[in-house]
Chains A and B, each alone.
Chain A
Amino acid sequence: EDQVTQSPEALRLQEGESSSLNCSYTVSGLRGLFWYRQDPGKGPEFLFTLYSAGEEKEKERLKATLTKKESFLHITAPKPEDSATYLCAVQARGQGGSEKLVFGKGTKLTVNP
């Protein structure tokens, strides 16, 4: 069964304390992996798309990497405004030509000043 597991479920950091969030997946026929952040009461905000193992993408304090079984979202010197729930999703080949998109449950990040 296709699964996307994010860890930890929750993470508290001090401002400036770098860390990584993990997204591990078990799907066949990976087509792409997506990262989003979501603030309470709002729709998700798109961050990155990764396609193949070894790929890396950066945006401000965030850097996403991808291996054959997992993706990491590295947060360097986080600030309180980085507090949010971070979601990853995996798109993979499905049956009958359709593709499936499976989300993880998210990591709730809190950055204290």
Chain B
Amino acid sequence: KAGVTQTPRYLIKTRGQQVTLSCSPISGHRSVSWYQQTPGQGLQFLFEYFSETQRNKGNFPGRFSGRQFSNSRSEMNVSTLELGDSALYLCASSLAPRLTGGTQYFGPGTRLLVL
């Protein structure tokens, strides 16, 4: 079956712009989580959605927002981009919320470069 799809795969933006990243989960999966990965900070949790509801949110400023649609696809938006937002953004999908213990499947990520 098809895996988790993230678009775009690569993105270059300038400071002050905004960006929207998309994540299509595996068919039938209703839970989507977003993560930011940088060489300095490592992997950090952004959001967790299940059935269109945000269940948990990481410690990121309000410039980072997300949503999940009725077909379980999810988008993440970052407004007023800063240089420090340059990172690999990963999403993961699973049948149920992460704590249920089911297998989480990660996408390949979107690499964002802010100039």
Contacts and interface: CB of A to CB of B under 8 A. Distances in A.
B36 to A, nearest CB: 10
Given A34-B98, A91-B98, A44 B43 contact: yes
Interface of B: 4, 42-45, 48, 55-59, 90, 92, 98-99, 101, 103-109
Interface residues of A, number: 23
B45 A42 contact: no
Nearest to A105: B42
Give the dominant DSSP class at A's interface.
strand
A7 interface: no
Interface in A15-29: none
Interface of A: 31-32, 34, 42-46, 49, 51, 87, 89, 91, 94, 98-106
